[in-house]
Structure 1
Amino acid sequence: MHNEDPVELRQLQYFVAAAKAEHFTKAAQRLNIVQSALSSSVRALEEELKAQLFVRTTRKVRLTAAGRALLEKAEIVLQAAKDAREAVSAVTQAKSGKLNLGTVQGLPAFLDLPLLLARFHERHPHIDVRLIQGGAAHLLEKVRNGKLDLAFLPMFYPPSDIATVTIACEELVVVCNKTHSLASSEFVSLGEIASHAFVEFEQDLGTRKIIDDLFLRANIDRKIAFEVSDLGTLMELVGHGLGIALVPESVACSRAQILSVCRLKDADACWEVVLASSAASGDALPRRFEEIIGKG
């Protein structure tokens, strides 16, 4: 099978310049190259295409039928190459492109994601941002397969292909209805709260894994009465006295008028949030978003 030599962009650039100028010397001057280089390039192009592209005279050159056919296509190819370079440059300089973000439910209240998104949009108005919510395992898989650029996740031990940056750390506290038997307690133990009904996130959502691991390490069983998918519903159920919950302190403080707050006295429970990304990614847009967080 015969393999033809590929036509180079530079050859097309020189050819188009000569066709427009109808003169090799003038075209070479516009390209800031010597005329012999341009002539050699055109000859090589004719050999590769097996066609004469110019009729040469002492005063000027003009296109042949094959040359006219090539000119039309060459201008399209060169414009496409120019557009491609500009598109890549726009993305690397964060002037355009798409940023795909993921987040778990129940981020700490002091991590104001809508505000971060607003700041990012203000600085990079031509970047399309897409945000999805989901469970930690689901979001992590999307980061690994390239469908998400960044994901806000609870603290975990990342695999080698995932890079993480800790961006928030907050104590977990117990919240309950003000008429609950724990309402008057300032400090409680895991053993004391384990006998009460819990309102929890569904598996793999929010703080669920952190709290499950907390009780597992203490070898204490607990009763989970309700499993929900969002923080608002969780807090409403607690507010109506249907159970207790462990939530980030800032979340508890935001409901202090209607809920009582107790601290754990025998356990170190912390809601840590990391920003996860592909360790192999060198894309500029995720780094720009991380800069927004760092300056927040």
Structure 2
Amino acid sequence: MFEMVSISARDTGGMELRNLRHFVALAEERSFTRAAARELIVQSGLSTSIRSLEKDVGGLLFIRGTRPVRLTAAGDALLPEARRTLAAADAARQAVQQVEGVLSGRFTIGTMDSIGHTLPFSAWLAEFALAHPGLEIVVTQQPALRMAELVAGGELDCALLPATRDAGLTVLPLISEPIVLACAPGHPLARKRTVRLADLDGERFVETPPGWAIRALIDETFDAAGLSRRIACEVTDWTTVVDLVAAGVGVALIPEGLNFARLPSPRLIPLADAHLERRLDFVYPAGPAASPATRRFLAVLESR
């Protein structure tokens, strides 16, 4: 029976980091073609690398002949250890190069889909990328709660998202903005100057999916108030939320800065009896777990 192999940056035995990197690429891409393209090698070279790693660990890592490619139980056991080993090796390399003032390797940062509407993230990223051309920068957009998990687990270096108190991460607050009601100009609530939560009981809502931080906040607020709402439509980007609200599909609670000035634009109305806000924070691992690239990007944000 295959035993779980625990490896670290200083105890990889005969395993090559290159083979571990190829293994992680194939596990994530689930396709020899895509993994080979990602690693800039031919498929036969990738296959040879995987077989070499399997020989080193003493067990099969992938089930051959399946599409998409599937991990064996041994592969499942090795994957988190392989990721940690590669991250440790990359951090060690960056630590040495940081002494020389040069950053290289892979820098992964998570952001929210709507961040460009509230913060000049593209400008920050461009400044950072131009200052550190040796870095391979990867930006990913996922639900905020999921990205916090990825940062805590070492799969993302850092992220810009609304931080929760129990995330276990270091948090740099960036901005906060009130959450307001958006409704179509012809909706009965559009005539009000402010609305109370009770006014929204039973209303049809256009919502973001579960896993988004703002959805969790709204769900908790309605549950605590003993109110209900009907989800008329659930979409994954704010532009579509605003469009559907303006068209009269339902109302929505949105960050105030997300009025996209569309025609017809929704009516935005403050809440009278609840203070809800959408925060954006820069989150990253505490202490030495933060990569050199993360600390350098943090300096850019702090200077702004």
Which TM class, normalised by the smaller chain length?
Answer: 0.5 to 0.7
1:289 is aligned to 297
| 2:210 corresponds to 1:203 | yes
Runs of 4 or more off by more than 4 Å in structure 1? 85-88, 253-257
Structure 2: give runs of 5+ residues left out of the alignment. 1-91
Question: Which residue does the alignment assign to 1:133?
Answer: 141
Tell me, in whole angstroms, the C-alpha distance in 2 between the residues paired with 1:237 and 1:222: 16
1:27 maps to which residue?
A: none
- The alpha-carbon deviation at position 103 of structure 1 amounts to 2.1
Post-superposition CA distance 1:191-225 (Å, at most 9, x none)? 10233211010001252112112212222112221
Deviation at 1:94, TM superposition (A): 4.5
Instruction: Give 1:105 deviation, angstroms.
Output: 3.5
In structure 2, C-alpha distance between the alignment counterparts of 1:194 and 1:252, rounded to whole Å: 23
Query: Which residue identity lines up with residue 274 of structure 1 in the other structure?
Result: D
Q: SS in structure 2 opposite 1:188? A: coil
Q: Which residue of 2 aligns with 1:35?
A: none
Aligned residue in 1 for 2:166: 158
1:225 maps to a residue whose letter is A
Structure 1 CA distance for aligned equivalents of residues 163 and 94 of structure 2: 36
Residues 106 and 207 in structure 1, CA contact (< 8 A), matched pair in contact too: no
Write out aligned runs for 1:3-152 (5 A): 88-91=95-98, 93-107=101-115, 109-152=117-160
Instruction: Give the Å deviation of 1:268.
Output: 0.6
Aligned to 2:194: 187
2:221 equivalent among 214, 226, 235: 214
Give secondary structure in 2 for the equivalent of 1:246.
Answer: strand
Instruction: Note if 1:259 corresponds to 2:266.
Output: yes
**What is residue 185 of structure 2 aligned with on the other side?**
178
The offset of 1:254, in angstroms, is 4.2
Using structure 2 for the length normalisation, give the TM-score.
0.63
User: Is the 2:196–2:272 contact (alpha carbons within 8 Å) kept by the matching residues of 1?
Assistant: yes
Distance 2:166 2:102 in 1: 27
- Decide whether aligned partners of structure 1 residues 139 and 250 sit closer, same or farther in structure 2, where only a CA change above 3 A counts: same
**TM-score, scaled to structure 1:** 0.65
TM-superposed CA distance for 1:234, in Å, is 1.1
Match of 2:257 among 222, 235, 250: 250
**C-alpha displacement at 1:113, in angstroms?**
2.0
Question: After alignment, is 248-257 or 181-190 more displaced?
Answer: 248-257
Q: Please give the secondary structure, in 1, of the residue aligned with 2:188.
A: coil
**Deviation per residue, 1:13-55 (Å, 9 max, x gap):** xxxxxxxxxxxxxxxxxxxxxxxxxxxxxxxxxxxxxxxxxxx
C-alpha distance in structure 2 between counterparts of 1:190 and 1:122, whole Å: 47
Task: Classify 1:257/1:117 alpha carbon distance in 2 versus 1 (closer, same or farther; 3 Å).
Answer: farther
Report if the CA contact (8 A) 2:183-2:189 is conserved: yes
* 1:217 partner amino acid: A
Contact preservation (8 Å) 1:174, 1:245: yes
Label 1:202 to 1:282 Cα distance change in 2 as closer, same or farther (>3 A).
Answer: closer
**Contact 2:170/2:286, CA 8 A, preserved across alignment:** yes
Distance 1:236 1:283 in 2: 40
Which stretches in structure 1 are left out of the alignment for 5+ residues?
Answer: 1-84
2:58 aligns with none
Tell me, in whole angstroms, the C-alpha distance in 1 between the residues paired with 2:235 and 2:151: 25
Distance in 2 of aligned mates of 1:148 and 1:111: 20
Secondary structure of 1:293 counterpart: helix
Shift of 1:168: 1.5
SS in 1 for 2:205: strand
Distance 1:167 1:86, change over 3 A: closer
C-alpha spacing 1:142/1:86, structure 2 compared with 1 (3 Å): closer
Paired residues for 1:235-246 under 5 Å = 235-246=242-253
Looking at structure 2, the residues matched to 292 and 203 of structure 1 have their Cα atoms a distance apart, in angstroms, of 32
- The whole-number CA distance in structure 2 between the counterparts of 1:146 and 1:202 is 24
The one-character-per-residue Cα deviations of 1:228-264 (angstroms, maximum 9, x if unpaired) are 1111211111121101111111112645862211000
Cα distance, 1:282 vs structure 2: 4.0
Number of residue-to-residue matches in the alignment: 212
Give the aligned CA root-mean-square deviation in angstroms.
2.4
CA distance in 2, matches of 1:257, 1:112: 26
Relative to structure 1, is the Cα distance of residues 181 and 98 closer, same or farther in structure 2, using a 3 angstrom cutoff?
same
More strand by share: 1
